[in-house]
């Protein structure tokens, strides 16, 4: 059995989706203002595009209460998943080692030890005395490295530009 037929101008909706995507990309790449305005603008464009796809392309506008009711519980569930987890990790300036950071360590010489071969036997020199080697240990430097400090692999852009013929 076919579903109810609902005519609408899909090309017009697509035009808006195209326009919003172009504006969103331009906003994300070229806007230099405060972060709240950058993110706010991006989320607004994402919402507008999602709304158009959900309402028109997925025909939610024409569906009855049952289909709408199936999707309704996801709204509070989404909020619960995100906001219930936030107090554990987010907005917490007191975290000793924030998520994504690494504690820097270095090798430090802490003394000498007897050199041993693969079988665990002491290695002796020509006079029969045990050979001594330096003993090292990983020690914390106390410095925390965040992701932004690391060198970012940027190679992708050049390779892709080459593949696209200098796009």
Instruction: Name residues contacting another protein, limited to 56-95 (CB under 8 A).
Output: 57-59, 63-64, 66-67, 70-71, 73-74, 77-78, 81-82, 85-86, 88-92, 95
Q: Is 163 in the site for another protein (CB under 8 A)?
A: yes
Q: Helix crossing, 10-30 with 35-52: angle to 10°?
A: 170
Q: Is 154 in the site for another protein (CB under 8 A)?
A: yes
Phi, psi of 100 (to 5 degrees): 90, -5
Choose between 42 and 115: whose C-beta lies nearer to another protein.
42
Choose between 79 and 132: whose C-beta lies nearer to another protein.
79
Name the β-bridge partners of 75.
none
Candidates 129, 157, 165, 166; binder of another protein (CB under 8 A) is 157
Residues in the interface with another protein (CB under 8 A) total: 71
Q: Residue 66 and residue 56: Cα distance in Å, rounded?
A: 17
Phi, psi of 17 (to 5 degrees): -60, -45
Q: Is 152 in the site for another protein (CB under 8 A)?
A: yes
- Token pair listed for 23: 């504006």
- Distances in Å between the Cα of 36 and the Cα atoms of 27, 43, 93 are 13, 10, 19
Choose between 2 and 107: whose C-beta lies nearer to another protein.
2
Binding mask 129-148 for another protein (x = CB under 8 A): ---------------x-xxx
> Of 22-51, which residues contact another protein (CB under 8 A)?
24-25, 27-29, 38-39, 42-43, 45-46, 49-50
- Token pair listed for 59: 């025909």
Choose between 59 and 115: whose C-beta lies nearer to another protein.
59
- Token pair listed for 61: 């506008």
Mapped onto helix, strand or coil, the DSSP state of residue 127 is: coil
């Amino acid at each position: 059995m076919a579903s109810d037929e609902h005519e609408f101008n899909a090309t017009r909706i697509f035009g808006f989706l195209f326009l919003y995507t172009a504006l969103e990309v331009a906003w994300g790449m070229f806007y230099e203002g405060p972060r709240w305005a950058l993110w706010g603008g991006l989320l607004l464009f994402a919402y507008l595009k999602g709304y158009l796809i959900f309402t028109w392309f997925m025909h939610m506008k024409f569906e009855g209460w049952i289909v709408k009711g199936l999707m309704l519980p996801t709204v509070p569930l989404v909020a619960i998943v995100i906001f219930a987890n936030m107090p554990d990790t987010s907005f917490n300036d007191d975290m000793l080692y924030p998520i994504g950071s690494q504690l820097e360590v270095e090798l430090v010489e802490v003394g000498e030890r007897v050199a041993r071969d693969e079988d665990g036997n002491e290695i002796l020199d020509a006079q029969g005395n045990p050979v001594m080697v330096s003993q090292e240990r990983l020690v914390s430097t106390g410095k925390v490295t965040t992701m932004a400090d690391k060198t970012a692999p940027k190679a992708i852009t050049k390779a892709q530009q080459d593949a696209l013929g200098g796009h």
